Amino acid sequence: MSEEISIFLFCCTLFLLTVNVLLAVLKKRKINLIFGCVTVLSALVAVVNIYLQSGHLPMSGTFEKMQNMVLIIVLLGLIYEFLNRKRDIHASEFWIIALIFQALAFFDELKIDPMFYMYDNVFVSMFFQLRLISMAVLVFSVSMYLTSFKLEAGSYEKSFMMHHAANFTLLGAILFIAGEFSGSMWAQLAYGDSWRWSKNFFTSGAMFLLALLGSHLAPSWIKNKNFQILFSIIPLLIIIILFLT
């Protein structure tokens, strides 16, 4: 029964996101803003359901990860859309990306991990949660870059959107490193050292460096804004791929 509830909630969010994408494509901004609240609610109920069923917040299973990430992406998107509702920016990309992430869960089993003993530890829990949130923020940042890509060259809106996309990249990096801090505490207490020579630590190090790469590309080399966007998106895409694989 509990598994059926999870699948039902998953399908609800999937359906609502599909409607959001359609409304965004049709540029029905106001209706989408209201309808988006229902999607956020559905995604929130799905995450709460994971907690109620397993006793832990979404952690490492694909199904859990996607549910949590979708919630954060649509929540950020909705807030951002609401705050900038008077600007001439039609940000539809985050709806499309959220739909893709929701659909990605199909490629794995639609199941929730049991309460492993490790999840009871606050540092383990924080590590997984902060990592998930940081990835969602970075995905949102990609969607903002994609939105700015289509805006008119030299326009105020384009620079405005790019600036905020860079801010969200930095926010993602901060959340990611906060997760790593928690992971280091976990490693210190569980293995006697704050880090280890292992594949997971190499990947984490690479992900953090990639998150900072975009902000360290000298603006003087790349004059064209669209190329700047492209060079900011590539490291983020690599991070997301590393996280998902």
- Binding interface with other proteins (CB under 8 A): 55, 114-121, 159-160, 163-164, 167, 170-171, 173-174, 177-178, 181, 184-186, 188-194, 196-199, 202-203, 205-206, 209-210, 212-213, 216-218, 221, 242
Q: Which residue has the tokens 């384009």?
A: 158
Angstrom distance (rounded) from CA 5 to CA 28: 31
Minimum Å gap between C-beta 170 and other proteins is 5
CB nearer to other proteins: give 188 or 226: 188
Minimum Å gap between C-beta 8 and other proteins is 25
Give the pair of three-digit tokens for residue 4.
Answer: 């059926």
Q: Which residue has the tokens 């360290």?
A: 216
**Contact assessment for residue 182 and residue 175, using Cβ atoms and an 8 Å cutoff:** no
Buried b (16+ CB within 10 A) or exposed e, 186-217: bbeeeeeeeeeeeeebeebeebbebbebbeee
CB nearer to other proteins: give 96 or 174: 174
- Helix, strand or coil, per DSSP, at residue 84: coil
CB nearer to other proteins: give 44 or 185: 185
Minimum Å gap between C-beta 34 and other proteins is 27
Angstrom distance (rounded) from CA 141 to CA 143: 5
CB nearer to other proteins: give 20 or 204: 204
Angstrom distance (rounded) from CA 220 to CA 238: 24
Angstrom distance (rounded) from CA 65 to CA 230: 26
**Contact assessment for residue 143 and residue 97, using Cβ atoms and an 8 Å cutoff:** yes
CB nearer to other proteins: give 31 or 79: 79
Minimum Å gap between C-beta 23 and other proteins is 27
Minimum Å gap between C-beta 194 and other proteins is 7
Minimum Å gap between C-beta 66 and other proteins is 21
